[in-house]
């Protein structure tokens, strides 16, 4: 009996610390928390679910109609620097016929500019010559031009002359580094590549990751080595943008194997502890009678003769998010579909998503601000290849959505800083939102129960929540709490405790 008694005591000592750690609240401070994943969610009840939202098509931003551009232009990057919006993209052209698919001209990196993210111009520069056109919008020629990918370096230690950085290259040259003080005049950092372990034949992206205090580079990678297996994405890290870690393939728990052509990964600008990605998905299909007769029929027939898979395979857009930069919650359903068949976008090479998110003025002008990004269309068609602006609601990629019959979401235990709760939400005229604050054990805190909360209905990015005694939550700051959102015919996009 004494031996059994001692054994039980030992088990309690070993298990209790682990259970205690599991119950520790998540400190979210006063940061914005978009509901892109289930990291903060303990329970979804009723008919509440996480819902992916699709973007809205807007106007044409850029037409690739210059002699140095053409029907294979793409890989756009869009950045906002102060009041200036900058766009970078590859200018290129293919020819295709019975002899095959081949380059018509050399590749170049082009530049466009805007003061609102909506109306774009191609500045008249004289940085690089093009036959018959010394004045053009070319900002780089040479190594790395196939997939020149810039970013603004927000590392506090970044040198002024390297405030803009970029990577570009291919499997033969490796990835090279570039820098610029103004985003227009670029220099190659060295003759030697900064990275060689990958395929790189796509849009590789680099960034300063503030959550980890390192540079991250997301590269084109194959699951079984160079050009073998699935088209995939890997990440590598650096402290100095010179020496990089061994590439680590990304993981997608609970998502079936899929081929990712680009990645579009960057910190979400309103909540940089979250990474978001906008990969272009590659779908290999066998040619069928139905596929052969999908618009554009004539173009598809020509491409099939030149290079069979280009005529049969397809591309569309996905959305994914991560909190550690390696494991991603990837939505298997398309974030962006090719659209109506008659539009002719059911073709390999269309629907490539840009790298970068920018806030733009609302449309209509009296509406809330929105997030804009850009997608390619008209691939392979001379004079019709372009980029179109698309928009989503601020924080509006994913929401907790409930029908009229209702649903609710309860968070894990949290601690916060601030004295008020602000939510980004939308309902129908018949719908509503109410919020209850509970203790860590799930019991309503007196004065902050569901019955004490005002009923909210409407559509706004920044609704302050009030209870019968007001909106002041100062006495709860720093204490473990849970949030219970009860929703009917509406969407909850994000929440934040503010001062």
* Residue 469 belongs to domain with CATH number: 2.60.120.260
Question: Is residue 349 in a domain?
Answer: yes
Of 263-272, 363-372, 385-394, 402-411, which gets the smallest average pLDDT?
363-372
Q: Answer yes or no: do 488 and 360 share one domain.
A: no
Among 393, 421, 454, where does a domain finish? 393
Tens digit of pLDDT for each residue in 150-162? Answer: 999 999 999 999 9
Q: Residue 120's domain is classified under what CATH number?
A: 2.115.10.20
Q: Answer yes or no: do 72 and 205 share one domain.
A: yes
The domain total for the chain is 2
Q: Answer yes or no: do 172 and 73 share one domain.
A: yes
| Spatial CB neighbours of 380, under 8 Å, sequence gap ≥ 6 | 71, 72, 94, 96, 299, 303, 347, 349
Residues 469, 4: Cα–Cα separation, whole Å: 55
Confidence of residue 2 (pLDDT cuts 50, 70, 90): very low
Confidence of residue 215 (pLDDT cuts 50, 70, 90): very high
| Whether residue 253 has pLDDT greater than 50 | yes
Q: What percent of the chain has pLDDT over 70?
A: 95
Question: Is residue 468 in a domain?
Answer: yes
Confidence of residue 118 (pLDDT cuts 50, 70, 90): very high
Question: Is residue 151 in a domain?
Answer: yes
> Mean of the pLDDT values across residues 413-441?
98
| Whether residue 227 has pLDDT greater than 80 | yes
Buried b (16+ CB within 10 A) or exposed e, 348-387: bbbbbbbbbbbbbeebeeeeeebbbbbbbbbbbbeeebbb
Q: What is the pLDDT of residue 51?
A: 98
Token pair belonging to 447: 């004065």
> Mean of the pLDDT values across residues 276-293?
97
| Whether residue 487 has pLDDT greater than 50 | yes
Q: Answer yes or no: do 183 and 101 share one domain.
A: yes
Q: Answer yes or no: do 46 and 62 share one domain.
A: no
| Whether residue 17 has pLDDT greater than 70 | no
Q: Is residue 427 within 8 Å of residue 489, measured between CB atoms?
A: yes
Question: Is residue 6 in a domain?
Answer: no
| Whether residue 430 has pLDDT greater than 70 | yes
Q: What is the pLDDT of residue 414?
A: 98
Question: Is residue 2 in a domain?
Answer: no
Q: What is the pLDDT of residue 15?
A: 38
Closest CA to 433 of 416, 414, 408: 408
Question: Is residue 18 in a domain?
Answer: no
Question: Is residue 15 in a domain?
Answer: no
Among 393, 409, 439, where does a domain finish? 393
Residues 176, 206: Cα–Cα separation, whole Å: 12
Q: Domain span at residue 40?
A: 23-53+398-498
Q: Answer yes or no: do 32 and 66 share one domain.
A: no
Q: Answer yes or no: do 273 and 417 share one domain.
A: no
Q: What is the pLDDT of residue 23?
A: 65
Question: Is residue 13 in a domain?
Answer: no
Q: Answer yes or no: do 439 and 305 share one domain.
A: no
Residues 367, 360: Cα–Cα separation, whole Å: 11
Q: Answer yes or no: do 363 and 403 share one domain.
A: no
| Whether residue 1 has pLDDT greater than 50 | no
Among 393, 415, 446, where does a domain finish? 393
Token pair belonging to 238: 């650096």
Q: Answer yes or no: do 154 and 197 share one domain.
A: yes
Residues 177, 187: Cα–Cα separation, whole Å: 9
Alpha helices for 307-396 (secondary structure H): 308-312
Q: What percent of the chain has pLDDT over 90?
A: 93
Q: Answer yes or no: do 144 and 273 share one domain.
A: yes
- Cα 258 to its chain centre, rounded Å, is 17
Q: Answer yes or no: do 301 and 405 share one domain.
A: no
């Amino acid at each position: 009996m004494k031996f059994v008694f001692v054994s039980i005591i030992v088990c309690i000592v070993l298990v209790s610390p682990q259970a205690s750690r599991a119950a520790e609240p998540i400190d979210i401070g006063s940061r914005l928390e978009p509901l892109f994943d289930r990291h903060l969610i303990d329970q979804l009840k009723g008919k509440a679910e996480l819902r992916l939202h699709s973007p809205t098509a807007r106007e044409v931003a850029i037409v690739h109609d210059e002699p140095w551009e053409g029907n294979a232009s793409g890989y756009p990057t869009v950045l906002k620097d102060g009041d200036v919006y900058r766009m970078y993209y590859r200018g290129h052209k293919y020819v295709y016929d019975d002899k095959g698919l081949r380059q018509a001209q050399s590749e170049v990196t082009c530049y466009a500019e805007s003061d609102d993210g909506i109306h774009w111009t191609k500045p008249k520069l004289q940085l690089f010559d093009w036959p018959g056109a010394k004045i053009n919008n070319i900002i780089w020629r040479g190594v790395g031009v196939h997939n020149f990918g810039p970013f603004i370096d927000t590392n506090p230690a970044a040198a002024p002359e390297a405030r803009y950085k970029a990577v570009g290259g291919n499997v033969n040259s490796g990835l090279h580094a570039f820098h610029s003080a103004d985003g227009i005049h670029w220099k190659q950092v060295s003759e030697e590549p900064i990275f060689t372990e990958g395929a790189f034949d796509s849009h590789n992206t680099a960034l300063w990751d503030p959550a980890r205090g390192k540079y991250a580079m997301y590269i084109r990678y194959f699951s079984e080595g160079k050009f073998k297996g699935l088209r995939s994405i890997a990440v590598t890290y650096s402290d100095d943008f010179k020496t990089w870690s061994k590439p680590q393939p990304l993981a997608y728990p609970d998502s079936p194997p899929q081929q990712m052509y680009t990645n579009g990964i960057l910190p979400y600008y309103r909540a940089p502890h979250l990474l978001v990605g906008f990969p272009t998905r590659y779908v290999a299909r066998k040619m069928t009678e139905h596929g052969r007769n999908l618009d554009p029929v004539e173009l598809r027939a020509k491409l099939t003769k030149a290079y069979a898979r280009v005529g049969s395979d397809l591309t569309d857009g996905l959305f994914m998010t991560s909190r550690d930069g390696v494991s991603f919650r990837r939505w298997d359903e398309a974030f962006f579909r090719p659209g109506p068949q008659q539009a002719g976008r059911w073709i390999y090479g269309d629907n490539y998503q840009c790298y970068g998110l920018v806030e733009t003025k609302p449309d209509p002008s009296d509406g809330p601000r929105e997030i804009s990004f850009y997608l390619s269309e008209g691939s392979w068609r001379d004079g019709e290849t372009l980029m179109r602006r698309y928009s989503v609601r601020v924080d509006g990629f994913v929401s907790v959505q409930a029908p009229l019959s209702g649903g609710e979401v309860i968070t894990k235990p949290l601690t916060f800083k601030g004295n008020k709760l602000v939510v980004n939400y939308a309902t129908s005229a018949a719908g509503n939102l109410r919020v209850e604050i509970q203790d860590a054990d799930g019991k309503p805190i007196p004065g902050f129960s569901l019955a004490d909360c005002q009923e909210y209905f409407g559509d706004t990015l920044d609704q302050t929540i009030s209870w019968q005694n007001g909106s002041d939550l100062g006495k709860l700051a720093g204490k473990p709490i849970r949030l219970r959102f009860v929703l009917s015919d509406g969407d909850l996009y994000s929440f934040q405790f503010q001062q």
